[in-house]
Amino acid sequence: MINRRILSLKYMISDITSAVFSWVCFYYFRKTVIESSEFIMDNNFFLGLIIIPLFWLVLYISIGNYKNVYKKHRIKEIGQTILFSVIGNLFLFFILILDDEINTYQDYYNLFGFLILIHTFSTLIPRFLLTSSTVKRIHRREIGFNTLIIGGNERALKIYKEIEAIKNSPGYLFKGFLSTNGVDRALEKAPIKNFGNYKLLKETILNQSIEEVIIAVEPSEHENIKNIINDLSDLNVRIKVIPDMYNILTGSVKMTAIFGALLIEVNPEIMPAWQKSTKRIMDVVISIIALFILLPVYLILAIAVWYSSKGPILYKQERVGRLRKKFFIYKFRSMIQNAESNGPQLSSTSDPRITQVGKIMRKTRLDEIPQFINVLKGEMSIVGPRPERQFYIDQIKQIAPHYKHLEKVKPGITSWGQVKYGYAENVDEMIDRLKYDVLYVENMSISLDIKIMFYTLIIISKGSGK
């Protein structure tokens, strides 16, 4: 862990140095070549020495450049560096440089071209050297990722031998295996530790600091793979599965290394780091705008709720969020006071507890708008699976244990399942809605969020919510 932090720090220092170097070269080029004047270190020069490196550092942190530094690939590093160098310098050029006095527009092209070239190469070369050094150390088995094999038969032994025989190691440092259905004699004699029965999964992963898990069960045990993946989903490990010919022919197998073992990665990063940052920025900006624009609506609804029945205007209720953290969700009260005096109850379209104002708010989703406060607090996102109460989560997991996949992300004000189903009236409807929310979690993207927000606005405008 310490070595990874040191490597991350090296990347940061390299990027800051590159930003300073490219700015000095650019400023010198602009003064001496474009403006044909003396190179003078004025206020603008020193201001750039502060702003430019800070800008690049914030950009690279937001896109996750300093995370998983042992997982970097040289070809990918080249592509990403060029891409973000162009994007970042385009932003800087239009914000900081475009209003400079010039002789001709050709000067703009020369300035921008020089800025792109000097920054790209000064950033790429040290990064490439750092990444190459790390890759070589992984190939030499000097560093790697603690790996556990699940499966105790011939298939587990075969994948172990195959990976260990690779000349340039892909980075798997095998700590041992867990058996799902007994241990084959051949594996008992293999130079890899037997941690025992599959029931010790969580304990083994935590005690051995496991980062990678390879599921190598026999074909007869394939029906267990889904349960194994569910058990691993909240243990913060990368999951790999040995593919069969069906997976290969249907295009499920995506190779990332030419000489690596044939494995499917089950749980790649939910969203790229830059999209996570963008999603959070969108959440904050949209929430602030919504709270400001909808202020008159808040006042009208507050008065309407106050007149509709006795009780508080706002209603708060404990829900379960990301990583099972509990928080209080805020809503405009749409039911009579003490509606759940007899314990947790889901509502229905003909529920007598819902007030007349509440029926209108539920159809237009207006009862949910105080949750922009939850979004600003970081407890929720605008788009994400709807948060549930622990009482119902326990019931859902008994029937659909894959609900735990939803716990990997922040809950949302609106969701794919909410758009399709609206409010669930019973646990069965919750489970029917679940497949859309799981599908959302496995396919999260900014574009999908925008689509869901768009359809939510249509439901609000039509008042067709359930």
Residue 251's SS3 state is coil
pLDDT averaged over the chain? 85
pLDDT at 170 over 90: no
Q: How far apart are CA 394 and CA 400, in angstroms?
A: 10
Strand-strand pairing, 172-179 and 145-150? parallel
Q: How far apart are CA 73 and CA 78, in angstroms?
A: 9
pLDDT at 252 over 70: no
Distances (CA, A) of 92 to 40, 67, 254: 21, 25, 36
Count Cβ atoms below 10 Å from residue 229 Cβ, excluding itself.
Answer: 17
Angle at 326 between CA 358 and CA 452, to 5 degrees: 55
- Of the candidates 241, 200, 236, 195, the one whose C-alpha atom is nearest the C-alpha of residue 219 is 241
* Average of per-residue pLDDT across 212-234: 80
Rounded to the nearest 10 degrees, the angle between the axes of helix 356-364 and helix 295-308 is 150
pLDDT at 249 over 50: no
* Average of per-residue pLDDT across 426-437: 88
What distance lies between CA 224 and its chain's CA centroid? Answer: 27
pLDDT tens for each residue of 107-158: 778 888 899 999 999 999 999 999 999 999 999 989 989 999 998 777 788 8
- What pLDDT does residue 257 have? 52
Contacts of 248 (CB under 8 A, 6+ apart): none
Q: How far apart are CA 389 and CA 329, in angstroms?
A: 10
**C-alpha dihedral, 12 to 15 to 16 to 18, nearest 10°:** 160
Angle at 434 between CA 429 and CA 438, to 5 degrees: 170
Using a 10 angstrom Cβ sphere, with 0-12 exposed, 13-18 middle and 19 or more buried, the burial of residue 89 is: buried
8: its two tokens: 């991350």
pLDDT at 189 over 80: no
pLDDT tens for each residue of 298-338: 999 999 999 888 889 998 999 999 989 999 999 999 888 88
Residue 373's SS3 state is helix
Residue 135 and residue 77 in contact, taking contact as beta carbons nearer than 8 Å = no
Q: How far apart are CA 124 and CA 19, in angstroms?
A: 11
* Average of per-residue pLDDT across 193-222: 86
What single-letter DSSP state applies at residue 337?
T
- Of the candidates 220, 191, 196, the one whose C-alpha atom is nearest the C-alpha of residue 207 is 196
Full-model pTM: 0.73
Residue that is written with structure tokens 């050029």 in the block: 93
Residue 178's SS3 state is strand
Fold of 145-265: Rossmann fold (3.40.50)
Q: Where exactly does CATH 3.40.50.720 map onto the chain?
A: 145-265
Confidence of residue 50 (pLDDT cuts 50, 70, 90): very high
- What pLDDT does residue 258 have? 46
Q: How far apart are CA 319 and CA 145, in angstroms?
A: 36
Q: How far apart are CA 355 and CA 334, in angstroms?
A: 6
Q: How far apart are CA 310 and CA 316, in angstroms?
A: 16
Q: How far apart are CA 54 and CA 59, in angstroms?
A: 9
- For residue 224, report the phi and psi dihedrals to the nearest 5 degrees: -85, -15
More confident residue, 244 or 198: 198
- What pLDDT does residue 314 have? 92
**C-alpha dihedral, 218 to 244 to 268 to 235, nearest 10°:** -10
Angle at 174 between CA 171 and CA 177, to 5 degrees: 145
Q: How far apart are CA 127 and CA 122, in angstroms?
A: 9
- % helix / strand / coil in the chain, to the nearest 5? 60, 10, 30
What distance lies between CA 441 and its chain's CA centroid? Answer: 9
- What pLDDT does residue 218 have? 73
72: its two tokens: 């970097």
Q: How far apart are CA 215 and CA 85, in angstroms?
A: 39
Q: How far apart are CA 147 and CA 214, in angstroms?
A: 7
More confident residue, 465 or 410: 410
Phi-psi region of 116 (alpha: psi -120 to 50; beta: other; left: phi over 0): alpha
